[in-house]
Amino acid sequence: MATHASSAISIVLLSGFAYLLGRAIYNVFFHPLRKFPGPKTMAWGRLPWTATVLGGKPYQKLLDLHDKYGPIVRIADNELSIIHPDAWKDVYGHRKGGGLENTKDPFVIMGNEHNLLGANIEDHSRFRRVLSHGFSMQAIAEQQPRISTHIDLLFQRLHEQCDQGKTPMDLVTWYNRVTFDVISDMTWGEPLGSLEKSQDHPWIHAMEVSTKGLNFIGQTKRFPAPLTPIFEKLIPKEVKRLTRDNFMYAAINVEKRIELGESRPDFMEAMLRQKGERAISKEEQVANAFIIMLGGSETSSTALAAAVYYLLKSPEAFSKLTAEILSAFQTESDINVHNIQNLPYLTAVMEETLRVHPPLPNSSPRLVHEGGRVICGEFIPEGTGVSIPHWAMYHSTENFSLPHSFIPERWLGDPRFDNDRREARKPFAIGPRNCIGMNLATTEIRIILARTIWNFEMRLAEDSKNWGESQKAFVLWEKPALNVYMTPRNLPR
């Protein structure tokens, strides 16, 4: 019996090995993507790229690959990475004449099938119609008093705790607190209270960990079913628990917001008042509230921290922006939604920050629709995963001169950058699924950055002088503390 059992196991193992070997040979030498350049060590299967993603530095690996192999690189058996600017409209753009959309990769959107991030075309259009007005500039201007309440409290706390510039402040923490409080208030009717208590709400940590967890889980689901349980065991139990808790917290807060009724002007109000064909189910309300909270907080706080870091590493740029802000306003209260939009150097600083340190450094892959599609002049077979990695796109010398340097003047007509492919930079993506929160994010970044400079003279602490150089990214950046000495300017409030 033992001999027969041993023989059966051997046959199964040998059969499995033969299948994997045959599949690897097919992928490298006979697969439809074999014509695209890239390392053969990544073409045989999914595992090498998955290991790169889980290692936290896929953005740097992609730049290295594109520097070596060109604008289109095969990074796995059935996936391409593209950094040519024309790819934006070919991959993400609007389809003309009712053409098919390149769908989102189901493994990337897993758990988000009922919200703006991952819904099918029909549901996404329904969500977008319901929520779009709340993210318009008109609506943001109407919400200014509510937004200002939280921003005012941020600067009150910074003044209270800056110790006259003798003790460094972690701006990653403080920018997280204000952006989470703002979007929480605008989503389900009350802030998280992080600014009021001067401490992080547990959900901020849970959100960061669960985003990373969903990325890990999505990667494990790409492998054949017998291997999935093995890979899932590698995911820490704490990550799984916080991922579950995150959705539960969203559901609890949606219930609390429903009890307030429809009269309060916020994102939930727009969903609650829909009837008939536009009605948003409870499950969809929770899912959309979750993704609005994530998209409206972490990405803005990342951009703010990055802007301060690169400005303090670039004294000339910091000096120019300071001069523009201090000359543009008489008092701090003048820095508002209406007055902040037309400062050219502030806008250039924001544009350059979103290029050098895009809040979402990696990519959101799409699957090529039925029948295949021509992308950047190359026919790509249906079902192929195609992605445009922001960080690699923005740091390629094919698209930008001095790509690793923070130079806001590149957006202000400096002739050194006449050959830059500015259309390559799309931090909010394009097409029907571009970021719905772009207006809120850019307004928040402008106001908070301008008020930071109005209120404080700043210098980097020694332990933060390489803050932007070696971060890992799992969907979002894993940001260390950004410690900054902040000395009050004592200008008119």
Which residues line the annotated binding site for heme?
Answer: 435
The CA distance from 242 to 438, in Å, is: 28
Structure tokens at 359: 């809040």
Neighbours of 207 (CB within 10 A): 24
Q: What angle do CA 451, 439, 96 make, to 5 degrees?
A: 160
SS3 374: strand
- Closest of 270, 264, 299 to residue 128, by C-alpha: 270
Going by the DSSP 8-state scheme, the letter that residue 176 receives in this structure is H
Q: Which of 243, 217, 245 is nearest to 232 (CA)?
A: 217
Question: In sequence order, what are the residues at sequence separation of 6 or more whose Cβ sits closer than 8 angstroms to the Cβ of residue 416?
Answer: 401, 402, 409, 410
Read off the tokens for 137: 């500039």
Which residues are bridge partners to 476 per DSSP?
474
Give the CA diameter of the chain.
Answer: 90
Nearest to 347 by CA among 450, 427, 437: 450
- Between CA 293 and CA 268 the distance in angstroms is 12
Q: Where are the alpha helices (DSSP H) in 143-201?
A: 144-161, 171-188, 194-197
For residue 452, what are the contacts with CB-CB under 8 A and spacing of at least 6? 304, 308, 458
Place of tokens 């003798």: 166
206 contacts 246 by C-beta, under 8 angstroms = yes
**Helix, coil or strand: residue 412:** coil
* Per-residue tokens: 323: 């001069």
* 358: its two tokens: 């895009």
d(CA 445, CA 112) in angstroms, rounded, equals: 26
Helices and strands in the chain, H and E counts = 20, 12
C-alpha 79/C-alpha 152 separation (Å) is 46
Nearest-5° Cα angle at 51, 47 to 53:
115
Both structure tokens of 181? 């409080």
